[in-house]
Structure 1
Amino acid sequence: MSRKYKFRDNEKLYFVSFAVVHWIDVFIRNEYRQVLLDSLRYCQEKKGLEVYAYCLMTSHVHLIISSQGKPLAEILRDFKSFTSTQLRKAITENPQESRKEWMLWVMERAGKRNGNNKGFQFWQQHNHPIVLNSNFLIQQKLDYLHNNPVEAGFVEQPEDYIYSSARDYAGTKGLLDILLIE
């Protein structure tokens, strides 16, 4: 992996994105989105994760984060590991999931091809952290993150998408407690 994309200073702001293997649209169901939101809350409360912005799309997640505690690489590793297990369970146990067999087959196939896994892979391997060391970069990533649902055609205005911190930045309480970038 390139040395360019690593967490070097946990107190700096980072933009990270991670996606489901093969960009499967898992997060179209509320119960799957809830697993992610609950896990982010847990990381905030118990692991020192500071969330400044987020956007949960159907197949991927964007975050602007930092930490005053545990290293960010460890927090994200634990987050991805835990949510992978929980989401696999949620998919398996969901009687309404018409794509269950296909999704599990794709994830098992991806896991068997990756020696870092135990026969199952939910998330793609990399987080691609980008340090946000200037106001220009912070604004660019914040705009990109919040405009993602608009570009996807889900909403007309960023603040209309409930699975995003754009609501918080527009003055409406969102689904996750965040720290605003001033």
Structure 2
Amino acid sequence: MSRTFRLKSDESIYHVMCKSITEVNLFKDTEDKKKYLSLIKKYKTLYNFKLYGYCLMDNHLHLIIDANGSDISKVMHGINFSYAMYFNKKHERGGHLFRDRFKSIIVANDRYLKTLSLYIHNNPTDILDYKNCPEQYAFSSLAIFIGKRRDYFKLVDYGFIISLFGESIKIARKNYYDLIFMCNEEKLKQEIEFEDEKSEYKNERILLVRNFKSDDVLEFIASKMNVSKIHLCMKYSRTLVQAKALTVVLMRSLCNFKSSDISSTLGNITQARISMLSTIGINLIGTNEKFENIIGDFIKCYA
């Protein structure tokens, strides 16, 4: 059977849902769920999308993703492919883990977005231990929304959605939590069923246009790292690994470059080397305070 064409737009907000194949749980333990969140963090750094909420259950997951100019298919393929590789190696198995492709529906309006957010955060109430306290479930963003837990992975851009529930953060959080219990789960589910994908809606969100020039990236990194722009394009230099790694991340994130484009720009380096440099660059941004705002700093300079 041929695949259904996926309606998508780099300006859209998506409800993404992934399920495991019938005989296998998507997550077997806490470590698996933490790994998935770490992969969201990795690809969020790379593609600079926004995550408005999440809930990881044992056999499925929900995400609310604002593409912010990125390609949702690239984002989810990267996350799910990496996770499946990790899962199969850890649990000594082979074959498919996810049931079909991920499902996605474009969020059509603010009403749908609010309903969707409440629905995914209501999911843990199906677990007996969390029926009356879904905010205590560790792998949902609800507690972050209502200010009961720090966002340890620095994942959730909750401000946009929570602002739809009240004039102040305190009032909005109270209203939001009250609605988690007041809303009927079946009614919520009916409103957000995966049926026909809808066209996107537009509001005051500021979207990131991914049309930056590679020369600007090279110039910026050369200045930031105090190296020669010409040296960045040499085929190999051990002393320039960090500079090249950050260059790769910025080109993938902001220039919409494929590996072949980066290879041509940086001196015909291999796809495996580009992948390695990308991982190094993402780790630098995630762990080194000197580089944590480098994508934002570049945008300020060249937007």
Q: How does 1:50-69 map to 2 (within 5 A)?
A: 50-69=50-69
| 1:28-177 paired onto structure 2 within 5 Å | 28-92=28-92, 104=93, 108=94, 120-155=95-130, 156-172=132-148, 173-176=150-153, 177=155
Shift >4 Å, 4+ stretches: none
More strand by share: 1
CA contact (8 A) 1:162 1:174 kept: no
2:17 aligned residue: 17
Instruction: Note closer, same or farther for the CA distance 1:69–1:23 as it changes in structure 2 (3 Å cut).
Output: farther
CA distance in 2: counterparts of 1:47 and 1:153, whole angstroms: 37
Q: Between Structure 1 and Structure 2, whose CA radius of gyration is higher?
A: 2
CA separation in 1, counterparts of 2:124 and 2:71? 30
Q: Aligned pair in 2 of structure 1 residues 18, 143: CA closer, same or farther (>3 Å)?
A: same
Percent of aligned positions with the same letter in both sequences?
A: 20
Q: Which runs of 5+ in 1 are unaligned?
A: 93-103, 109-119
Aligned length: 155
Report the secondary structure of 1:16's partner residue.
strand
User: What is the match of residue 4 of structure 2?
Assistant: 2
TM-score (norm 2): 0.48
Match of 2:281 in 1: none
Paired residue secondary structure (1:39): helix
Deviation at residue 28 of structure 1 after TM alignment: 3.9
CA displacement, residues 80-123 of structure 1 (integer Å, 9 cap, x when unaligned): 1111001111212xxxxxxxxxxx3xxx4xxxxxxxxxxx1111
Answer whether contact 2:27 2:57 (CA < 8 A) is retained: yes
Greater percentage in helix: 2
Distance, in Å, in 2 between the alignment partners of 1:166 and 1:61 is 14
Over residues 19-40 of structure 1, what are the superposed CA-to-partner deviations in whole Å (9 max), with x where a residue is unaligned? 1111623424122112101101
Answer yes or no: is the 8 Å Cα contact 1:10–1:71 preserved in 2. yes
Report if aligned partners of 2:26, 2:59 keep a CA contact under 8 Å in 1.
yes
Q: Report the CA distance between 1:154 and its aligned residue.
A: 4.0
Which shows bigger deviation, 50-59 or 131-140?
A: 131-140
Contact conserved, 2:27 with 2:58, CA < 8 A, in 1? yes
Q: Greater RCO between the two (CA within 8 Å, min separation 6)?
A: 1
- Gaps of at least 5 residues in structure 2 are 164-303
- 2 CA distance for matches of 1:152 and 1:30? 15
TM-score (structure 1 length as normaliser): 0.77
Change (3 A) 1:7 1:63: farther
For residues 179 and 58 of structure 1, the distance between their equivalents in structure 2, rounded to whole angstroms, comes to 24
The answer as to whether partners of 2:12 and 2:68 remain within 8 angstroms in 1 is no
* Contact 1:163–1:175 (Cα < 8 Å) also in 2: no
The answer to which of 25-34 and 128-137 deviates more is 25-34
